[in-house]
Amino acid sequence: MEIVMEEETTSDNNGWETIETIETIETIETIETTNSENQSLTTSLTSGISKKKKMMIKPKKPKIINKGTGAGGANTNKNGLQFEEVADLKDRYESIIRRKIGSEVKFKGHLCTFIEVSKYALHKYMEKIGEKNMMLKPAAGCKKPDEAYIDLEKKNIFIIEKKFQQISGSADEKLQTGYFKQLHYKELFPNFNIYYMYCLSDWFKREESALKYLKDSGIPVFWGNSETCKEKIIEFIHNPL
């Protein structure tokens, strides 16, 4: 007995592959006869049973890797969060009193008390004290600032937006929205002075046109990789003018 295997592969328009297997079992039967001269003769007869099997498989799609060091949304988000931690001002607090919404903080070497209200806490706190324009819905980029401080005595709000980038992407375009966001925050909190600022990674230094626009619009830019970045931000929120 002999088993013979044959395979045929076909593909359809959807990328599915059909593999058709033909399995043939061949058997050989030997028949002995004699001729007219009484000589022994041997005859072999071959017969076979064929079975067909079909199997459909979907080939795996090749993994696509974005070009560039650190490319891709996951890496960008991870590195961006690390950058936010590096530029965080919490390690410069002299004291902190946590409240249900936000915290009362003082910075080392300064007497002024600020209300720290980062992310969604800014809108919640301003609504709580009756200083939010409830007739206006916050724009998409103005819902949860990376870091924000309120000086209730001077009625100042300082909003720090942190941007990390190491290749061309969407973040560099967002710099162009800084002036709009400052005006929009003023509409949301009309009784307060709004100071919107950026803390950026060094990659943005090549964005000369955007940086010039921010400067002309009165929006400060601080460089998160600088050793004096935090001190400069703290000095600014104590003496903005």
Domains along the sequence of the chain with CATH: 2-57 (no CATH), 73-238 (3.40.1350)
Give the pLDDT confidence of 68-82 residue by residue, as tens digits.
444 444 454 555 556
Give the pLDDT confidence of 21-34 residue by residue, as tens digits.
555 555 555 555 55
Q: Comparing 38-42, 126-130, 193-197, which segment has the lowest mean pLDDT?
A: 38-42
Handedness of CA 136, 142, 143, 149 (dihedral sign): negative
Give the pLDDT confidence of 11-20 residue by residue, as tens digits.
555 555 555 6
User: Going by C-beta distance under 8 Å and a sequence separation of 6 or more, which residues neighbour residue 46?
Assistant: 26, 27, 28, 29
Residue 28: alpha-carbon gap to chain centroid: 67
Is the CB of residue 157 less than 8 Å from the CB of residue 185?
A: yes
pTM for this model (two decimals)? 0.67
Q: How confident is the model at residue 62 (pLDDT cuts 50, 70, 90)?
A: very low
- d(CA 236, CA 155) in angstroms, rounded, equals 15
Predicted confidence (pLDDT) at residue 105 exceeds the cutoff of 70 = yes
- d(CA 139, CA 165) in angstroms, rounded, equals 23
Task: Give pLDDT, residue 65.
Answer: 40
Q: How confident is the model at residue 104 (pLDDT cuts 50, 70, 90)?
A: very high
